[in-house]
Amino acid sequence: MTLFHPWQEHAARLADEVTHPQSRWHDAVRFTPRHLFVPRWWWAERTGAVLADGPEKPGLWLRAAYSDTTLVTRLGTLHADHAKPDDHPAWRSTSSSTLPSLVVNMFRHARPAEGMDVLDVGTGSGYGTALLCHRLGGRHVTSVDVDPYLTSAARQRLAEAGHQPHVATVDAFRPLPGTYDRIIATVSVPLPGIPASWLTALRPGGRLVTTIAGTSLIIGADKTPDGGAVGRVERDWAGFMTTRHAPDYPPSLLAQLPHARDEDGDEVTTGRYPVLNVDDAWDVRTRLTLAVPGIETHFEEYGQHRTAWLLHADGSWARAAGRPTDAPTVHQSGPQRLWDQLEVIRHELNTTGYIGLYGARVRIDPDGACHIDQDD
C-alpha cells in the first residue's frame, strides 16, 4: 500500500490536527495514504505555476501531502501527472486534493452512517473517496467526475490503497449511476441550483450537501415526499471549483467580451468605495452572486494600481480602476449596472457588518431550483 514507511507518522499527526480523537473520521484520515493520490502537483509562485514531483523530493512530498492544504493537481487540461518541469500553465484550477479538514467537514454535514450508500460528486484526486471507503466500505461508495483521466487515475490509486468503490465518468448534471442515501459534492453548483438528477438519485429521506458556486454557502438539505428537499445554509463556509461539463471550463466572460478590458462604457462615474478583489471578500462575493446569478469577476493589480471587472452573460460589464485607497473611475455598459449593485452590497455590509445568510432556510424544488430565505 505504501511507497515509503514514514507516511504513517505524518498521517497520524494530520488526523490529530483535523479531527477530534473520538471522531469517526479520525481513523480514516490516519490510515489513508494521501501521498498516493498526489504524486505530483502544482505550486502557485509569483512567477507562475511550478510543478512539484513527490518521488523526486520525498521530504517535500510528505510535508505537502500530510498538511491541511489543498494540492492542485490539474490546471486547465494539463494534469500534473503529464506535465514537464518547464510547463507553466495559467492558474486555472480544474482538479485538486482538497484540504482534508474541509473534506471531513463536508462529510460531517452529510451525516452518513454505516450501511448507507453514498455518492461522492467530484472525484478529483480520489483522496476524499478513500476517506469515505475507509469509513463506510468501498461497496457503499460511488464517486463520479466529468473527466476520464481523473476517474481512471483515482480508480487505480484507490485500488493501491486497498479500496474498490464504483468510480464512473459522469457529467453530474446528467443521470447518475444509481440511487443513494447521501450525496456529497466537493464541487460547487451554479444558480439556479441543484441538478435535478441529484434529487432523482436521492432516496426518500436522503440528504445532500453541496456548495453554491460563487458563494461561501454550504447547503444541507433532506429529501421531501414531493421530490424536492428542505434544509438550511450550514453555519459554516466553504468554496469549491464549479461543476463543469467538459475537461476544462469555457472561456471566461472577459475573453468573450474583450472590449470590456479598455473601452469606455455607456456610463462613466466615480465609485463610492475603492477597488476590491471581490473573490477575496467572500461575504461580498456571496451577496453579489445571489443578487446577480452568473456574474463573473476578474482582478488585476500592478504596483499601486488596481483594476476589477464584473461581467455577465447578458452582455453587461463594469470596470473600476484606481489606487487601493482612492475612489475609482468606473465604466459600465449593458442592460445591468453591475458596479452599482456591488456598491449597494458593500454599503449594506459596511452598515450591518453581517452577511445574514448562515442558518437561513433553504427549499429546493424537484427541478433543482434553490430558494434561500434571505430574511432569516
* pLDDT for the residue numbered 82: 97
Per-residue confidence (pLDDT) for residue 3, from 0 to 100: 45
Cβ burial of 371 (10 Å; 0-12, 13-18, 19+) is middle
Phi, psi of 209 (to 5 degrees): -135, 130
Q: Domains plus CATH for the chain?
A: 7-233 (3.40.50.150), 253-352 (3.30.160.690)
CB of 318 within 8 A of CB of 310?
A: yes
Walk along the chain (376 residues) and give the pLDDT tens digit of each residue. Answer: 444 468 999 999 999 999 999 999 999 999 999 999 999 999 998 888 999 999 999 999 999 999 999 999 999 999 999 999 999 999 999 999 999 999 999 999 999 999 999 999 999 999 999 999 999 999 999 999 999 999 999 999 999 999 999 999 999 999 999 999 999 999 999 999 999 999 999 999 999 999 999 999 999 999 999 999 999 999 999 999 999 998 899 999 999 999 999 999 999 999 999 999 999 999 999 999 999 999 999 999 999 999 999 999 999 999 999 999 999 999 999 999 999 999 999 999 999 887 789 999 999 999 999 999 976 5
Cα 93-15-104 angle, rounded to 5 deg: 50
CA distance 183 to 200: 11
Non-local CB neighbours of 114 within 8 Å, separated by 6+ positions? 136
The candidate with the shortest Cα–Cα distance to 212, out of 144, 295, 308, is 295
**Coil, helix or strand for 53?**
strand
CA distance 173 to 253: 22
The 3-state DSSP class for residue 91 equals: coil
pLDDT for 6 equals 84
CA atoms within 13 A on the CB side of 213: 19
The one-letter code for the residue type at 289 is: T
Taking the C-alpha atoms of residue 342 and residue 195, their distance in angstroms, rounded to an integer, is: 28
CA 81 to chain centre: 21
3-state secondary structure of 86: coil
Using an 8 Å Cβ cutoff, are 52 and 59 in contact?
A: no
* CA atoms of 45 and 29, how far apart (whole Å): 28
Residue 137's SS3 state is coil
Q: What's the Rg (C-alpha) of the chain?
A: 22
Residue in the structure block whose three cell numbers are 471549483? 241
